[in-house]
Structure 1
Amino acid sequence: MIYKYEMEKEDYSDFASGRVLHNAPNTTGFPARLGKEIMSRCLTQLRTDKNLILYDPCCGGAHLLTFIGFLYREHFAEIYGSDIDEQVLEYAKRNLKLLTEEGLLARKEQLQRDFDIYQKESHLHALESVERLERLNQTAVKQLQCFPFHIAGITRPPIQNVNIVFTDLPYGNIVDWKGSKDNHIQQMLTNIYQILDLNNSIVAIVCDKKQKVIHGNFEKIHAFHHGKRKITFLKPFT
Protein backbone atom coordinates (compact mmCIF):
# COMPACT_ATOMS: atom_id res chain seq x y z
CA MET A 1 0.00 0.00 0.00
CA ILE A 2 0.96 3.65 -0.34
CA TYR A 3 0.56 5.75 2.78
CA LYS A 4 -1.43 8.88 2.06
CA TYR A 5 -1.20 10.62 5.44
CA GLU A 6 1.48 8.86 7.51
CA MET A 7 4.26 9.45 5.02
CA GLU A 8 7.08 9.38 7.56
CA LYS A 9 7.87 6.20 9.48
CA GLU A 10 8.01 7.25 13.13
CA ASP A 11 8.98 5.48 16.33
CA TYR A 12 5.80 4.03 17.85
CA SER A 13 7.50 1.91 20.51
CA ASP A 14 5.66 3.82 23.26
CA PHE A 15 2.52 1.99 22.13
CA ALA A 16 4.08 -1.48 21.96
CA SER A 17 1.86 -4.06 23.61
CA GLY A 18 3.36 -5.03 26.96
CA ARG A 19 5.47 -1.91 27.48
CA VAL A 20 2.97 0.55 28.98
CA LEU A 21 -0.15 -0.82 27.37
CA HIS A 22 -1.14 -4.17 28.85
CA ASN A 23 -0.67 -7.26 26.70
CA ALA A 24 -3.83 -9.38 26.69
CA PRO A 25 -3.10 -13.12 26.28
CA ASN A 26 -3.83 -14.63 22.85
CA THR A 27 -4.27 -11.21 21.23
CA THR A 28 -2.06 -9.21 18.93
CA GLY A 29 -1.21 -5.52 18.90
CA PHE A 30 -2.24 -3.41 15.94
CA PRO A 31 0.44 -1.55 13.94
CA ALA A 32 0.33 2.07 15.09
CA ARG A 33 1.36 3.60 11.78
CA LEU A 34 -1.37 1.69 9.94
CA GLY A 35 -3.86 2.64 12.65
CA LYS A 36 -3.02 6.32 12.23
CA GLU A 37 -3.36 6.07 8.46
CA ILE A 38 -6.80 4.49 8.79
CA MET A 39 -7.94 7.01 11.38
CA SER A 40 -6.75 9.93 9.24
CA ARG A 41 -8.74 8.58 6.31
CA CYS A 42 -11.80 8.19 8.53
CA LEU A 43 -11.64 11.75 9.80
CA THR A 44 -11.55 13.17 6.27
CA GLN A 45 -14.91 11.47 5.57
CA LEU A 46 -16.77 13.22 8.39
CA ARG A 47 -18.65 16.48 8.30
CA THR A 48 -17.27 17.42 11.71
CA ASP A 49 -14.33 15.91 13.56
CA LYS A 50 -14.93 17.07 17.15
CA ASN A 51 -16.84 15.48 20.05
CA LEU A 52 -16.93 12.19 18.18
CA ILE A 53 -17.93 8.76 19.42
CA LEU A 54 -15.53 5.91 18.56
CA TYR A 55 -16.47 2.23 18.81
CA ASP A 56 -14.49 -0.98 18.29
CA PRO A 57 -16.91 -3.96 18.39
CA CYS A 58 -14.09 -6.55 18.41
CA CYS A 59 -11.72 -4.71 20.70
CA GLY A 60 -9.88 -7.64 22.31
CA GLY A 61 -7.47 -6.08 24.79
CA ALA A 62 -8.24 -2.58 23.40
CA HIS A 63 -4.68 -2.03 22.17
CA LEU A 64 -6.05 -0.34 19.04
CA LEU A 65 -8.56 1.82 20.93
CA THR A 66 -5.98 2.89 23.48
CA PHE A 67 -3.27 4.13 21.16
CA ILE A 68 -5.89 5.82 18.98
CA GLY A 69 -7.20 7.45 22.14
CA PHE A 70 -3.73 8.79 22.97
CA LEU A 71 -3.01 10.07 19.48
CA TYR A 72 -6.45 11.46 18.55
CA ARG A 73 -8.07 12.20 21.89
CA GLU A 74 -8.86 15.83 20.95
CA HIS A 75 -11.42 14.44 18.47
CA PHE A 76 -13.28 12.13 20.85
CA ALA A 77 -15.87 12.69 23.54
CA GLU A 78 -16.59 8.96 24.00
CA ILE A 79 -14.67 5.76 23.29
CA TYR A 80 -16.28 2.32 23.52
CA GLY A 81 -15.07 -1.22 23.02
CA SER A 82 -16.81 -4.57 23.15
CA ASP A 83 -15.80 -8.18 22.77
CA ILE A 84 -17.34 -11.61 23.19
CA ASP A 85 -14.44 -12.72 25.43
CA GLU A 86 -15.08 -11.39 28.94
CA GLN A 87 -11.63 -12.43 30.18
CA VAL A 88 -9.80 -10.39 27.55
CA LEU A 89 -12.09 -7.44 28.32
CA GLU A 90 -10.45 -7.15 31.74
CA TYR A 91 -7.25 -6.17 29.91
CA ALA A 92 -9.24 -3.84 27.67
CA LYS A 93 -10.58 -2.00 30.69
CA ARG A 94 -7.08 -1.64 32.13
CA ASN A 95 -5.79 -0.28 28.84
CA LEU A 96 -8.57 2.27 28.40
CA LYS A 97 -7.95 3.34 31.98
CA LEU A 98 -4.53 4.52 30.81
CA LEU A 99 -6.33 7.31 28.96
CA THR A 100 -7.18 8.84 32.34
CA GLU A 101 -4.76 10.77 34.51
CA GLU A 102 -5.22 8.44 37.47
CA GLY A 103 -4.92 5.30 35.37
CA LEU A 104 -1.66 6.35 33.75
CA LEU A 105 -0.27 7.49 37.11
CA ALA A 106 -1.08 4.10 38.65
CA ARG A 107 0.67 2.35 35.76
CA LYS A 108 3.69 4.62 36.18
CA GLU A 109 3.90 3.80 39.88
CA GLN A 110 3.69 0.08 39.13
CA LEU A 111 6.47 0.29 36.56
CA GLN A 112 8.59 2.30 38.99
CA ARG A 113 8.17 -0.40 41.65
CA ASP A 114 9.14 -3.06 39.12
CA PHE A 115 12.24 -1.11 38.12
CA ASP A 116 13.24 -0.54 41.77
CA ILE A 117 13.01 -4.29 42.43
CA TYR A 118 14.37 -5.82 39.24
CA GLN A 119 16.44 -3.01 37.67
CA LYS A 120 15.48 -4.18 34.18
CA GLU A 121 16.23 -2.00 31.21
CA SER A 122 12.76 -2.79 29.82
CA HIS A 123 11.13 -1.22 32.87
CA LEU A 124 13.28 1.88 32.46
CA HIS A 125 12.22 2.20 28.81
CA ALA A 126 8.60 1.76 29.88
CA LEU A 127 8.94 4.58 32.40
CA GLU A 128 10.34 6.83 29.69
CA SER A 129 7.36 5.92 27.52
CA VAL A 130 4.93 6.78 30.33
CA GLU A 131 6.42 10.25 30.60
CA ARG A 132 5.87 10.82 26.89
CA LEU A 133 2.33 9.46 27.11
CA GLU A 134 1.62 11.81 30.01
CA ARG A 135 2.24 14.72 27.66
CA LEU A 136 -0.40 13.29 25.30
CA ASN A 137 -2.88 12.82 28.13
CA GLN A 138 -3.90 16.46 28.53
CA THR A 139 -7.42 16.31 27.03
CA ALA A 140 -9.94 14.20 28.92
CA VAL A 141 -12.27 11.82 27.06
CA LYS A 142 -15.62 12.09 28.81
CA GLN A 143 -16.66 8.45 28.50
CA LEU A 144 -14.45 5.33 28.30
CA GLN A 145 -16.17 1.97 28.47
CA CYS A 146 -15.70 -1.67 27.52
CA PHE A 147 -18.55 -4.16 27.73
CA PRO A 148 -19.19 -7.81 26.84
CA PHE A 149 -21.09 -8.13 23.59
CA HIS A 150 -21.34 -10.41 20.57
CA ILE A 151 -21.44 -7.99 17.64
CA ALA A 152 -22.49 -10.77 15.26
CA GLY A 153 -25.42 -11.72 17.49
CA ILE A 154 -29.08 -10.85 17.10
CA THR A 155 -29.16 -7.63 19.12
CA ARG A 156 -27.69 -4.17 18.60
CA PRO A 157 -24.96 -2.75 20.86
CA PRO A 158 -26.19 -0.62 23.80
CA ILE A 159 -24.76 2.65 22.45
CA GLN A 160 -25.91 5.17 19.87
CA ASN A 161 -24.88 8.05 17.60
CA VAL A 162 -21.50 6.46 16.83
CA ASN A 163 -19.36 8.43 14.37
CA ILE A 164 -16.44 6.06 13.76
CA VAL A 165 -16.40 2.28 13.91
CA PHE A 166 -12.84 1.03 13.57
CA THR A 167 -12.24 -2.65 14.15
CA ASP A 168 -9.78 -5.43 13.36
CA LEU A 169 -11.89 -8.54 12.74
CA PRO A 170 -10.88 -11.94 14.13
CA TYR A 171 -8.96 -13.91 11.54
CA GLY A 172 -5.95 -16.18 11.15
CA ASN A 173 -4.80 -18.81 13.61
CA ILE A 174 -5.15 -16.84 16.82
CA VAL A 175 -8.85 -16.06 17.01
CA ASP A 176 -11.91 -16.55 14.83
CA TRP A 177 -15.65 -16.28 15.03
CA LYS A 178 -17.90 -19.31 14.96
CA GLY A 179 -20.22 -19.96 12.07
CA SER A 180 -20.28 -18.70 8.50
CA LYS A 181 -17.59 -16.14 7.80
CA ASP A 182 -19.91 -14.27 5.43
CA ASN A 183 -22.93 -14.29 7.72
CA HIS A 184 -21.15 -12.93 10.78
CA ILE A 185 -19.87 -9.88 8.90
CA GLN A 186 -23.34 -9.30 7.46
CA GLN A 187 -24.93 -9.50 10.89
CA MET A 188 -22.24 -7.31 12.42
CA LEU A 189 -22.91 -4.60 9.84
CA THR A 190 -26.66 -4.90 10.40
CA ASN A 191 -26.08 -4.24 14.10
CA ILE A 192 -23.59 -1.44 13.49
CA TYR A 193 -25.92 0.37 11.09
CA GLN A 194 -28.51 0.72 13.86
CA ILE A 195 -26.17 2.63 16.18
CA LEU A 196 -24.54 5.06 13.74
CA ASP A 197 -25.04 8.78 13.41
CA LEU A 198 -26.20 8.38 9.82
CA ASN A 199 -25.40 11.99 8.98
CA ASN A 200 -21.81 11.86 10.20
CA SER A 201 -20.22 8.43 10.36
CA ILE A 202 -17.71 6.10 8.76
CA VAL A 203 -16.91 2.41 9.27
CA ALA A 204 -13.38 1.04 8.81
CA ILE A 205 -13.03 -2.73 8.90
CA VAL A 206 -9.71 -4.54 8.88
CA CYS A 207 -9.89 -8.21 7.95
CA ASP A 208 -8.30 -11.04 6.03
CA LYS A 209 -8.19 -10.55 2.27
CA LYS A 210 -10.53 -13.52 1.81
CA GLN A 211 -13.28 -12.06 3.98
CA LYS A 212 -16.08 -10.21 2.18
CA VAL A 213 -17.16 -6.87 3.61
CA ILE A 214 -20.41 -5.89 1.92
CA HIS A 215 -23.89 -4.94 3.10
CA GLY A 216 -26.96 -3.37 1.51
CA ASN A 217 -27.08 -0.54 4.04
CA PHE A 218 -23.56 0.64 3.22
CA GLU A 219 -21.64 2.07 0.31
CA LYS A 220 -18.03 0.95 -0.04
CA ILE A 221 -16.08 4.14 -0.64
CA HIS A 222 -12.52 2.85 -0.49
CA ALA A 223 -10.40 -0.24 0.17
CA PHE A 224 -6.71 -1.08 0.23
CA HIS A 225 -4.41 -3.94 1.20
CA HIS A 226 -1.63 -3.95 3.75
CA GLY A 227 0.25 -7.25 3.86
CA LYS A 228 -2.31 -9.95 4.67
CA ARG A 229 -4.84 -7.34 5.76
CA LYS A 230 -7.63 -5.75 3.75
CA ILE A 231 -9.01 -2.43 4.96
CA THR A 232 -12.50 -1.45 3.80
CA PHE A 233 -14.23 1.90 4.38
CA LEU A 234 -18.01 2.03 4.39
CA LYS A 235 -20.47 4.92 4.54
CA PRO A 236 -24.03 4.21 5.66
CA PHE A 237 -26.92 5.00 3.38
CA THR A 238 -29.38 7.44 4.96
Structure 2
Amino acid sequence: MIYEFEIEKEDYSDFASGRVLYNAPNTTAFPVRLGKEIMSRCLTQLRNDKNLILYDPCCGGAHLLTFIGFLYSENIAAIYGSDIDEQVLEYAQRNLNLLTEEGLLSRKEQLQRDYDLYYKESHLHALESVERLERLNQTAVKQLQCFLFNIAGVTHPPIQNVNVVFTDLPYGNIAYWKGSNDNQIQQMLTNIYQILDLNNSIVAIVCDKKQIVMHGGFEKIRAFNHGKRKITFLKPCT
Protein backbone atom coordinates (compact mmCIF):
# COMPACT_ATOMS: atom_id res chain seq x y z
CA MET A 1 0.00 0.00 0.00
CA ILE A 2 1.19 3.50 -0.86
CA TYR A 3 0.33 6.19 1.65
CA GLU A 4 -1.54 9.03 -0.03
CA PHE A 5 -2.10 11.30 2.98
CA GLU A 6 0.31 10.25 5.75
CA ILE A 7 3.36 10.39 3.52
CA GLU A 8 5.82 11.38 6.23
CA LYS A 9 6.49 9.09 9.17
CA GLU A 10 5.82 10.86 12.45
CA ASP A 11 6.32 10.09 16.12
CA TYR A 12 3.03 8.72 17.44
CA SER A 13 4.34 7.59 20.82
CA ASP A 14 1.88 9.91 22.59
CA PHE A 15 -0.84 7.45 21.55
CA ALA A 16 1.00 4.31 22.63
CA SER A 17 -1.29 1.95 24.50
CA GLY A 18 -0.46 2.03 28.21
CA ARG A 19 1.31 5.39 28.12
CA VAL A 20 -1.58 7.82 28.48
CA LEU A 21 -4.24 5.71 26.79
CA TYR A 22 -5.28 2.76 28.90
CA ASN A 23 -4.15 -0.70 27.83
CA ALA A 24 -7.12 -3.08 27.84
CA PRO A 25 -6.20 -6.74 28.55
CA ASN A 26 -6.16 -9.10 25.56
CA THR A 27 -6.49 -6.31 23.03
CA THR A 28 -4.09 -4.91 20.46
CA ALA A 29 -3.31 -1.29 19.59
CA PHE A 30 -4.01 -0.12 16.06
CA PRO A 31 -1.14 1.55 14.12
CA VAL A 32 -1.74 5.30 14.31
CA ARG A 33 -0.25 6.16 10.92
CA LEU A 34 -2.43 3.57 9.20
CA GLY A 35 -5.47 4.75 11.16
CA LYS A 36 -4.90 8.34 10.04
CA GLU A 37 -4.50 7.24 6.43
CA ILE A 38 -7.76 5.30 6.52
CA MET A 39 -9.65 8.11 8.23
CA SER A 40 -8.32 10.66 5.74
CA ARG A 41 -9.49 8.49 2.87
CA CYS A 42 -12.90 8.17 4.53
CA LEU A 43 -13.28 11.93 4.73
CA THR A 44 -12.71 12.32 0.99
CA GLN A 45 -15.72 10.06 0.34
CA LEU A 46 -18.17 12.23 2.29
CA ARG A 47 -20.30 15.09 1.02
CA ASN A 48 -19.87 16.85 4.33
CA ASP A 49 -16.94 16.11 6.64
CA LYS A 50 -18.07 18.11 9.69
CA ASN A 51 -20.18 17.14 12.72
CA LEU A 52 -19.70 13.48 11.92
CA ILE A 53 -20.91 10.50 13.90
CA LEU A 54 -18.18 7.84 14.13
CA TYR A 55 -18.84 4.25 15.17
CA ASP A 56 -16.62 1.22 15.77
CA PRO A 57 -18.74 -1.94 16.25
CA CYS A 58 -15.73 -4.01 17.42
CA CYS A 59 -14.03 -1.35 19.50
CA GLY A 60 -12.18 -3.46 22.07
CA GLY A 61 -10.41 -1.00 24.36
CA ALA A 62 -11.20 1.90 21.97
CA HIS A 63 -7.55 2.66 21.23
CA LEU A 64 -8.46 3.33 17.59
CA LEU A 65 -11.47 5.51 18.41
CA THR A 66 -9.51 7.52 20.98
CA PHE A 67 -6.58 8.54 18.81
CA ILE A 68 -8.95 9.28 15.92
CA GLY A 69 -10.93 11.45 18.34
CA PHE A 70 -7.82 13.41 19.29
CA LEU A 71 -6.60 13.85 15.72
CA TYR A 72 -9.94 14.58 14.03
CA SER A 73 -11.92 16.33 16.74
CA GLU A 74 -12.75 19.22 14.38
CA ASN A 75 -14.62 16.76 12.15
CA ILE A 76 -16.40 14.66 14.78
CA ALA A 77 -19.48 15.41 16.86
CA ALA A 78 -20.05 11.97 18.38
CA ILE A 79 -18.08 8.76 18.88
CA TYR A 80 -19.69 5.41 19.65
CA GLY A 81 -18.05 2.07 20.27
CA SER A 82 -19.49 -1.35 20.99
CA ASP A 83 -18.15 -4.78 21.82
CA ILE A 84 -19.33 -8.13 23.16
CA ASP A 85 -16.79 -8.10 26.01
CA GLU A 86 -18.19 -6.19 28.99
CA GLN A 87 -14.85 -6.10 30.79
CA VAL A 88 -12.97 -4.54 27.88
CA LEU A 89 -15.66 -1.87 27.51
CA GLU A 90 -14.68 -0.46 30.89
CA TYR A 91 -11.29 0.38 29.41
CA ALA A 92 -12.91 1.64 26.23
CA GLN A 93 -15.00 4.18 28.11
CA ARG A 94 -12.00 5.28 30.15
CA ASN A 95 -10.06 5.86 26.93
CA LEU A 96 -12.90 7.82 25.33
CA ASN A 97 -13.15 9.90 28.50
CA LEU A 98 -9.61 11.10 27.79
CA LEU A 99 -11.19 13.16 25.01
CA THR A 100 -12.84 15.28 27.71
CA GLU A 101 -11.07 17.94 29.73
CA GLU A 102 -12.06 16.22 32.97
CA GLY A 103 -10.93 12.77 31.85
CA LEU A 104 -7.55 13.94 30.64
CA LEU A 105 -6.99 16.00 33.79
CA SER A 106 -7.80 12.98 35.96
CA ARG A 107 -5.32 10.86 33.99
CA LYS A 108 -2.68 13.58 34.33
CA GLU A 109 -3.15 13.71 38.10
CA GLN A 110 -2.85 9.92 38.32
CA LEU A 111 0.38 9.93 36.31
CA GLN A 112 1.76 12.75 38.45
CA ARG A 113 1.05 10.73 41.62
CA ASP A 114 2.80 7.73 40.07
CA TYR A 115 5.81 9.83 39.16
CA ASP A 116 6.00 11.37 42.63
CA LEU A 117 5.97 7.89 44.17
CA TYR A 118 8.32 6.02 41.83
CA TYR A 119 10.23 8.63 39.77
CA LYS A 120 10.06 6.39 36.73
CA GLU A 121 11.17 7.85 33.43
CA SER A 122 8.14 6.23 31.77
CA HIS A 123 5.80 8.28 33.99
CA LEU A 124 7.66 11.46 33.11
CA HIS A 125 7.34 10.71 29.39
CA ALA A 126 3.64 10.01 29.90
CA LEU A 127 3.19 13.40 31.59
CA GLU A 128 4.89 15.08 28.64
CA SER A 129 2.51 13.22 26.33
CA VAL A 130 -0.50 14.42 28.34
CA GLU A 131 0.57 18.03 27.85
CA ARG A 132 0.77 17.53 24.09
CA LEU A 133 -2.63 15.80 24.07
CA GLU A 134 -4.10 18.72 26.02
CA ARG A 135 -3.08 21.02 23.18
CA LEU A 136 -4.73 18.67 20.67
CA ASN A 137 -7.93 18.49 22.68
CA GLN A 138 -9.18 22.02 21.98
CA THR A 139 -12.34 20.95 20.12
CA ALA A 140 -14.29 18.63 22.40
CA VAL A 141 -16.32 15.78 20.91
CA LYS A 142 -19.87 16.26 22.22
CA GLN A 143 -20.97 12.62 22.62
CA LEU A 144 -18.76 9.72 23.74
CA GLN A 145 -20.30 6.36 24.51
CA CYS A 146 -19.40 2.68 24.60
CA PHE A 147 -22.05 0.00 24.95
CA LEU A 148 -22.34 -3.77 25.11
CA PHE A 149 -23.54 -5.12 21.78
CA ASN A 150 -23.05 -8.06 19.42
CA ILE A 151 -22.78 -6.50 15.96
CA ALA A 152 -23.03 -9.96 14.37
CA GLY A 153 -26.33 -10.67 16.10
CA VAL A 154 -29.88 -10.36 14.84
CA THR A 155 -30.55 -6.69 15.69
CA HIS A 156 -28.95 -3.40 14.71
CA PRO A 157 -27.18 -1.05 17.17
CA PRO A 158 -29.27 1.55 19.06
CA ILE A 159 -27.80 4.54 17.20
CA GLN A 160 -28.72 6.35 13.99
CA ASN A 161 -27.33 8.63 11.25
CA VAL A 162 -23.79 7.27 11.46
CA ASN A 163 -21.42 8.83 8.94
CA VAL A 164 -18.22 6.83 9.42
CA VAL A 165 -17.90 3.20 10.48
CA PHE A 166 -14.25 2.36 11.05
CA THR A 167 -13.44 -1.00 12.60
CA ASP A 168 -10.67 -3.56 12.93
CA LEU A 169 -12.40 -6.93 12.82
CA PRO A 170 -11.49 -9.78 15.18
CA TYR A 171 -9.02 -12.28 13.79
CA GLY A 172 -6.14 -14.38 15.04
CA ASN A 173 -5.79 -15.89 18.50
CA ILE A 174 -6.61 -12.86 20.64
CA ALA A 175 -10.03 -11.83 19.36
CA TYR A 176 -12.90 -13.89 18.08
CA TRP A 177 -16.30 -13.53 16.45
CA LYS A 178 -19.60 -14.36 18.06
CA GLY A 179 -22.26 -14.41 15.37
CA SER A 180 -25.71 -15.66 14.60
CA ASN A 181 -24.77 -17.43 11.37
CA ASP A 182 -21.78 -18.66 9.39
CA ASN A 183 -21.04 -15.28 7.83
CA GLN A 184 -20.64 -12.79 10.64
CA ILE A 185 -19.30 -10.05 8.36
CA GLN A 186 -22.44 -10.13 6.22
CA GLN A 187 -24.65 -9.99 9.30
CA MET A 188 -22.58 -7.13 10.66
CA LEU A 189 -23.01 -5.19 7.42
CA THR A 190 -26.75 -5.87 7.43
CA ASN A 191 -26.92 -4.31 10.89
CA ILE A 192 -24.65 -1.41 9.99
CA TYR A 193 -26.67 -0.54 6.88
CA GLN A 194 -29.71 0.19 9.04
CA ILE A 195 -27.94 2.84 11.13
CA LEU A 196 -26.13 4.81 8.41
CA ASP A 197 -26.85 8.25 7.05
CA LEU A 198 -27.37 6.86 3.54
CA ASN A 199 -26.70 10.25 1.95
CA ASN A 200 -23.38 10.83 3.69
CA SER A 201 -21.57 7.77 4.98
CA ILE A 202 -18.60 5.48 4.43
CA VAL A 203 -17.58 2.15 5.97
CA ALA A 204 -13.92 1.17 6.41
CA ILE A 205 -13.28 -2.41 7.47
CA VAL A 206 -9.86 -3.74 8.42
CA CYS A 207 -9.55 -7.51 8.51
CA ASP A 208 -7.41 -10.51 7.72
CA LYS A 209 -6.69 -11.02 4.02
CA LYS A 210 -8.63 -14.30 4.08
CA GLN A 211 -11.83 -12.70 5.34
CA ILE A 212 -14.43 -11.82 2.70
CA VAL A 213 -16.05 -8.39 2.95
CA MET A 214 -19.12 -8.36 0.71
CA HIS A 215 -22.77 -7.37 0.99
CA GLY A 216 -25.51 -6.58 -1.50
CA GLY A 217 -26.38 -3.35 0.25
CA PHE A 218 -22.93 -1.85 -0.30
CA GLU A 219 -20.74 -0.84 -3.19
CA LYS A 220 -17.02 -1.57 -2.78
CA ILE A 221 -15.17 1.70 -3.40
CA ARG A 222 -11.64 0.54 -2.83
CA ALA A 223 -9.61 -2.22 -1.21
CA PHE A 224 -5.92 -2.63 -0.54
CA ASN A 225 -3.54 -4.78 1.48
CA HIS A 226 -1.19 -3.57 4.16
CA GLY A 227 1.02 -6.29 5.60
CA LYS A 228 -1.28 -8.99 6.97
CA ARG A 229 -4.26 -6.66 6.86
CA LYS A 230 -6.83 -5.96 4.18
CA ILE A 231 -8.66 -2.63 4.21
CA THR A 232 -11.98 -2.33 2.37
CA PHE A 233 -14.01 0.84 1.80
CA LEU A 234 -17.76 0.49 1.23
CA LYS A 235 -20.53 2.95 0.48
CA PRO A 236 -24.18 2.06 1.06
CA CYS A 237 -26.38 1.61 -1.97
CA THR A 238 -29.41 3.91 -1.91
TM range (shorter): over 0.9
Matched residues in 1 for 2:94 and 2:179: separation? 30
Any conservation in 1 of the 2:150–2:178 contact (CA below 8 Å)? no
Show the counterpart of 1:128.
128
| Farther off after superposition, 172-181 or 226-235 | 172-181
Show the counterpart of 2:83.
83
Any conservation in 2 of the 1:182–1:212 contact (CA below 8 Å)? no
Matched residues in 2 for 1:54 and 1:26: separation? 24
2:169 partner letter: L
Q: 1:141 to 1:179 in 2, by over 3 A?
A: closer
SS of 1:73 mapped into structure 2? coil
Displacement of 1:178: 3.6
Displacement of 1:180: 8.4
Show the counterpart of 1:8.
8
Q: 1:23 to 1:197 in 2, by over 3 A?
A: same
Any conservation in 1 of the 2:63–2:92 contact (CA below 8 Å)? yes
Any conservation in 2 of the 1:55–1:162 contact (CA below 8 Å)? yes
CA-to-partner distance for each residue in 1:11-53, whole Å, 9 max, x for gaps? 0000000000000000000000000000000000000000000
Any conservation in 2 of the 1:182–1:211 contact (CA below 8 Å)? no
Show the counterpart of 2:47.
47
Q: 1:119 to 1:12 in 2, by over 3 A?
A: same
Show the counterpart of 2:200.
200
Show the counterpart of 1:66.
66
1:88 partner letter: V
Displacement of 1:179: 5.5
Show the counterpart of 2:161.
161
What TM-score, normalized by structure 1, do the two folds share?
0.99
Displacement of 1:106: 0.2
Show the counterpart of 2:143.
143
Any conservation in 2 of the 1:181–1:211 contact (CA below 8 Å)? no
Which contiguous aligned blocks of 4+ residues in structure 1 show a shift greater than 3 angstroms?
178-182
Q: 1:43 to 1:88 in 2, by over 3 A?
A: same
| Farther off after superposition, 76-85 or 180-189 | 180-189
Q: 1:100 to 1:179 in 2, by over 3 A?
A: closer
Q: Runs of 5+ in structure 2 lacking a partner?
A: none
Matched residues in 2 for 1:108 and 1:183: separation? 43
1:148 partner letter: L
Displacement of 1:182: 5.6
Show the counterpart of 1:35.
35
Matched residues in 1 for 2:87 and 2:227: separation? 29
Q: Runs of 5+ in structure 1 lacking a partner?
A: none
What TM-score, normalized by structure 2, do the two folds share?
0.99
CA-to-partner distance for each residue in 1:87-145, whole Å, 9 max, x for gaps? 00000000000000000000000000000000000000000000000001111111000
1:17 partner letter: S
| Farther off after superposition, 171-180 or 44-53 | 171-180
Matched residues in 2 for 1:20 and 1:78: separation? 21
Matched residues in 2 for 1:151 and 1:197: separation? 18
Aligned residues: 238
Alpha carbon RMSD of aligned pairs, Å? 1.0
Matched residues in 2 for 1:173 and 1:84: separation? 16
**Percent identity between the aligned chains?**
87
Matched residues in 1 for 2:107 and 2:113: separation? 10
Matched residues in 2 for 1:81 and 1:177: separation? 16
SS of 1:55 mapped into structure 2? strand
